Structure 1
Amino acid sequence: MGSLFEELEAREAAVRVRVEELEAEVAELSGRLELARAGLERLRIALETVAEVLAEMDPEGPVVAVDAGQSHGVASAYAGAERQVVGVLTVPNWQPGMMSDVLPSVYRDIVEVVAGAPGPVRAKQIVPRIGLPAETGKIEGARSKLKRLVERGWLDENTPGMFTPARSRAAASPNSR
C-alpha cells in the first residue's frame, strides 16, 4: 500500500503547486483590477468635472482671450486661442436685494421654475420645464445645479430631493423672482 500513499502525496503536492499558481494569478489580477478601478474612477471624476464646468459656462457671457504661449518666441498649439476663464464663481452667494438676473441663464431658469411652482419640486420635474429631455444625465445635472443653488442660498431643500425658494430670500424680497 505504500505506492497508493505515495501517489496521493504526489497528487497533493501537484494540487498544492497549482493552488499556489492560482493564488499568484489572483493576486496579479487583483492588482490589475485595482489599477483599472482607479483609472475608471479618475475618468468618472474627470467626466463629472467637465460636465459641471460646461454646465456652468454661460455661452452668452463674455469670452476672455487668454494667451497660452509660454514664451514670446515659441509657437504654441494654443497660441491665440480664446477660452473662457475658469475659476470664477458663476453662481454667487445670495445676498439681500440680489435678483436672479445675476445668475447664469440655466440657473436663473431653475430658480424661476422653483419660484413659480405651487410647492416643493424635484429635479425630474424641473428638467422638462427648462427645455431639457427627461433623461437621467439631464436630471442628475439639474440636481447638481439645484444643490449648488441651495449651498449658495438661492433655494432651500428641507426634505431631501425637494426644492423650494429660499425662505431668507423670500423674506428679504417677496416680489423677487
Structure 2
Amino acid sequence: MGSLFEELEAREAAARLRVEGLEAELAELSGKLDLARESLERLRITRETVAAVLAEMIPEKAAAFDADRPTASEPTTSAYAGAERHVVGVLTVPKWQPGMGVEVLPQVYRDILEVVADAPGPVRAKQIVPRIGLPAETGKIEGTRSKLKRLVERGWLDEDTPGMFTPAHPRTGKPPNSR
C-alpha cells in the first residue's frame, strides 16, 4: 500500500477528472439551453406576430368580403393556393333545427349522439368515453363532458339532471349502423 500522500494525490486526480467531466457536460447543456431559449423566443415572436396579423385581417375580411368576391369571369388565384389554411370562427356544432341530421356534425359528436340515443336512460360522460373508443382517463372524460355540454347548448341533447344526458329529439327511422 502506498503512502498517505500518494493516496490523496490519486483521489485528487480522480476528483479533478470528475470536475472536468462535469464542466464539459455543463458547457454542453448550457449550449443546448441557449438553443432552446432561442427557439422559444422565436416561437413567442411568431405567435404574437400571427395574432396581430389575424387581428388586423379579420375586420378587413369581414368588411371587404362582398367587394372582393370574385365574379365568374375573374380568376380565383391566391398567394396561399395549395397551402392548408384554417378558418377562424367556424361553428363546428350548429344549433339544432327541425329536419337537421347528425351528418352536419363532426364524427366524434355523431358518435356521442349515437351512444346517448342507444342508451336505455340518461348517461354520464364517464359511461360514454369507453363506448366511443377512448380510454377512461380524467382528461378524456372531461373533454367528452365539454362536448356533451356543447351539444346541450346547441339543442342536440338534454341535461335534465346535472351530468345526466339524454337525446333532445327522438330519432326517426333506424340508426345508421343498424341492420
Structure-1-length-normalised TM-score: 0.51
Aligned partner of 1:51 in structure 2 is: none
In 1, Cα distance between equivalents of 2:82 and 2:102: 34
Once the two structures are superposed, the pairs formed by residues 131-146 of structure 1 within 5 Å of their partners are 131-146=133-148
In 2, Cα distance between equivalents of 1:92 and 1:155: 13
In 2, Cα distance between equivalents of 1:155 and 1:115: 9
- Contact 1:99 1:176 (8 Å CA) reproduced: no
Aligned partner of 2:167 in structure 1 is: 165
Cα distance change, pair 122–151 in 1 and its aligned pair in 2 (3 A): same
- Would you say 1:98 and 2:100 are equivalent positions? yes
In 1, Cα distance between equivalents of 2:96 and 2:134: 26
State the SS of the aligned residue for 1:156: strand
Aligned partner of 1:110 in structure 2 is: 112
1:85 Cα offset (Å): 1.2
Larger radius of gyration: 2
1:175 Cα offset (Å): 3.2
Q: Which runs of 5+ in 2 are unaligned?
A: 1-77
- Would you say 1:83 and 2:85 are equivalent positions? yes
In 2, Cα distance between equivalents of 1:141 and 1:157: 17
Residue-pair matches, total:
98
| Aligned with 1:175 (options 173, 176, 179) | 173
Q: Which runs of 5+ in 1 are unaligned?
A: 1-65, 69-78
Give the letter aligned to residue 127 of structure 1.
V
In 1, Cα distance between equivalents of 2:96 and 2:121: 21
Cα distance change, pair 90–141 in 1 and its aligned pair in 2 (3 A): same
Give the letter aligned to residue 160 of structure 1.
P
- Contact 1:156 1:164 (8 Å CA) reproduced: yes
- Contact 1:93 1:153 (8 Å CA) reproduced: yes
Structure-2-length-normalised TM-score: 0.50
Give me the identity figure in percent.
80
In 2, Cα distance between equivalents of 1:176 and 1:103: 18
- Contact 1:156 1:163 (8 Å CA) reproduced: yes
